[in-house]
Amino acid sequence: MQDIPDKIHFIGIGGAGMSGLARVLLDLGFDVRGSDLNSSQVTERLKAAGATVFEGHHGHNVTGAGLVVVSTAISGDNPELRVATESGIPVIHRADMLGLLMERQKGLAVAGAHGKTTTTAMLALVMEKCHQDPTILIGGELTDVGGNAKLGRGKYLVAEADESDRSFLKLYPYLAIVTNIEDDHLDHYGSVDEIIKSFRYFLQKIPADGAGVLCFDDTNVRDVAPECGGAVITYALDNPEADYVLRDIKLEPGRSAGEVYFRGQRLGLIELVVPGRHNLANALAVVAACLKLGLDFNEIAASLKEFRGAGRRYQYHGCVKGVTVVDDYAHHPTEIAATLRAARQVHAGRVVAVFQPHRYTRTSLLHKRFGPCFQDADLVIINEIYSAGEKPIEGVSAQLIVDAAREFKGDDIVFLPTAGDTIEYLLNNDQEGDLILTMGAGDVWKTGLALLDRLKEN
């Protein structure tokens, strides 16, 4: 690994990707400091681990830093970035830092439009349980490692590869899982063709002795497979031509299972406690990757059975007076449909979806695609758009999604702009046995927690 200055400053240290990098660098012995607009559990954990964390972005915070790390979310007019640039302090993107850490160990990266965090978490857990002691960097919380990151002394680094801004092209993984390629982040790419092109480049970076573990249920993934620099290993639930397939799939409350076959030979059963066919696909990818690395199938299967999910991925928050609250990060139509199918698998009562659209650009580009994705919900509440820092676009609001969804579900779609409106409506209309499923990449999870608190009071 090339030399890294001892004193490293993270602008936006509380972010999912940034905080993980900061934690690993702390454990490597670096002097880590950083800033974030607000204090959080994440920043408090980093402080407890030895980081210096400033609240708010101020130019003087970077004084003394030998290197500044930023994410795409940091704008050019950020006062700390401006001072660092004017002072000649080197500035790198967080993906560059991840790439530097990958030089220490063999990188195992997970990329794709959907399922990245869960698949990365599954892979990390299996590697940990199978005594590989990997370094782990995930976009969500994993209970088994006590957060979203862990420094390991083994030969592998497990990380989520973010395609949203092309930053995953800064990585050179030894092995990469690609779960799917779809029309997300069009505000950055402009077209699906550009997204596909970036995945071609990503797979070309895999060395000849490495591998791409590719989902052959996905047409776009099949198209980029020939570009892989290493061996191509394929998996699928619906495509019998894949190397690894899953047969005799069972989707039951508290159990998702299937028989793994490799080129026609039965390897054995995998079982999950997390729901959903999509999670079986994620697990099959992990099986294929870990077998490529020489792990034992029975140990892999036993480890997967212990997987309890990642933070904000079908995360159980509580049950009060017969009303259960679960939260999920789903914010793209494909993710929402898969999450609702999983909810229907495990829940016998009403499924009430509370969806907060994420970003004006995504709403503008995909609003018609949201129309049919709520079919497995009994009732759908749609909130106003969470901007994620974007400026409003004239004519773009959550009403676009409401109108599209009503074409399929009519009066089962309710538009309630705010969290307060949503909570009051649910308190007056909930039924014993309801599952309230909050979905979105913004702060809709807070609505679920606040609802539980109000139910306790009533």
pLDDT digits (tens, 9 = 90+) for 307-366: 998 878 889 999 999 999 999 999 999 999 999 999 998 899 999 999 999 999 999 999
Report how far residue 43's alpha carbon sits from residue 53's, in angstroms, rounded to the nearest whole number.
Answer: 7
Q: Over the stretch 31-67, which tens digit does the pLDDT of each residue have?
A: 999 999 988 989 999 999 999 999 999 999 999 999 9
* Cβ(121)–Cβ(190) below 8 Å: no
* Cβ(436)–Cβ(354) below 8 Å: yes
Tokens representing residue 62 in the block? 């970077």
The residue type at 435: L
Mean of per-residue pLDDT scores for the chain: 95
* Coil/strand/helix, residue 453: helix
Angle 94-180-71 (CA atoms, 0-180°, nearest 5)?
15
Residue 118 labeled ligand binder: yes
315-457 to CATH, choices 3.40.710.10, 3.30.870.10, 3.50.50.60, 3.90.190.20: 3.90.190.20
Residue 428 confidence (pLDDT): 96
Report how far residue 34's alpha carbon sits from residue 19's, in angstroms, rounded to the nearest whole number.
Answer: 9
Domain with CATH 3.40.1190.10 in the chain: 105-305
Contacts of 86 (CB under 8 A, 6+ apart): none
Q: Over the stretch 237-282, which tens digit does the pLDDT of each residue have?
A: 999 999 999 999 999 988 999 999 999 999 999 999 999 999 999 9
Q: Over the stretch 108-124, which tens digit does the pLDDT of each residue have?
A: 999 999 999 999 999 99
Enumerate the active-site residues.
Answer: 116-117, 160
**DSSP for residue 170:** G
* Coil/strand/helix, residue 138: strand
The radius of gyration of the chain's CA atoms, rounded to the nearest angstrom, is: 22
* Coil/strand/helix, residue 449: helix
**DSSP for residue 386:** B
Phi/psi at 86 (5° precision): -65, -30
Higher pLDDT, 189 or 223: 223
Q: Is the pLDDT of residue 2 over 70?
A: no
Contacts of 354 (CB under 8 A, 6+ apart): 381, 383, 422, 426, 436, 437, 438, 439, 444, 447, 448
Q: Is the pLDDT of residue 143 over 80?
A: no
Q: Which of 109, 231, 127 is closest to 170 using CA atoms?
A: 109
Residue 185 confidence (pLDDT): 66
Sheet holding 315-320, edge to edge: 315-320, 323-328, 435-439, 351-355, 379-382, 413-415
Residue 1 confidence (pLDDT): 58
Residue 359 confidence (pLDDT): 94
Report how far residue 256's alpha carbon sits from residue 278's, in angstroms, rounded to the nearest whole number.
Answer: 10
Residue 210 labeled ligand binder: no
* Coil/strand/helix, residue 276: coil
Q: Residue 354's CB: how many other CB atoms inside 10 A?
A: 29
Q: Which of 132, 454, 90, 118 is closest to 300 using CA atoms?
A: 132
Residue 115 labeled ligand binder: yes
Residue 313 confidence (pLDDT): 84
Residue 114 labeled ligand binder: yes
Q: Residue 255's CB: how many other CB atoms inside 10 A?
A: 15
Domain with CATH 3.90.190.20 in the chain: 315-457
* Coil/strand/helix, residue 335: helix
CATH topology of domain 7-93: Rossmann fold (3.40.50)
Mean pLDDT on 289-318? 94
Q: Which of 341, 112, 343 is closest to 217 using CA atoms?
A: 112
Longest dimension (CA), the chain: 62
Half-sphere exposure of 303 (CA within 13 A, CB side): 24
| Stated pTM of the model | 0.89
Residue 186 confidence (pLDDT): 67
Q: Which of 285, 130, 269, 100 is closest to 211 using CA atoms?
A: 285
Residue 311 confidence (pLDDT): 79
- How does strand 31-36 pair with strand 91-93? unpaired
Burial of 130-157, coded b for 16+ CB within 10 Å and e otherwise, reads bebebbbbbbbbbeebebbbbbbeeebb
Residue 113 labeled ligand binder: yes
The residue type at 97: M
Q: Residue 258's CB: how many other CB atoms inside 10 A?
A: 22
Higher pLDDT, 233 or 164: 233
Residue 117 labeled ligand binder: yes
Report how far residue 458's alpha carbon sits from residue 454's, in angstroms, rounded to the nearest whole number.
Answer: 6
Residue 145 confidence (pLDDT): 74
The residue type at 233: I
Residue 174 confidence (pLDDT): 98
Tokens representing residue 172 in the block? 């050179």
* Cβ(354)–Cβ(451) below 8 Å: no
Phi/psi at 156 (5° precision): -120, 150
Q: Residue 1's CB: how many other CB atoms inside 10 A?
A: 11
Residue 363 labeled ligand binder: no
Residue 3 confidence (pLDDT): 82
CATH code of the region 105-305: 3.40.1190.10
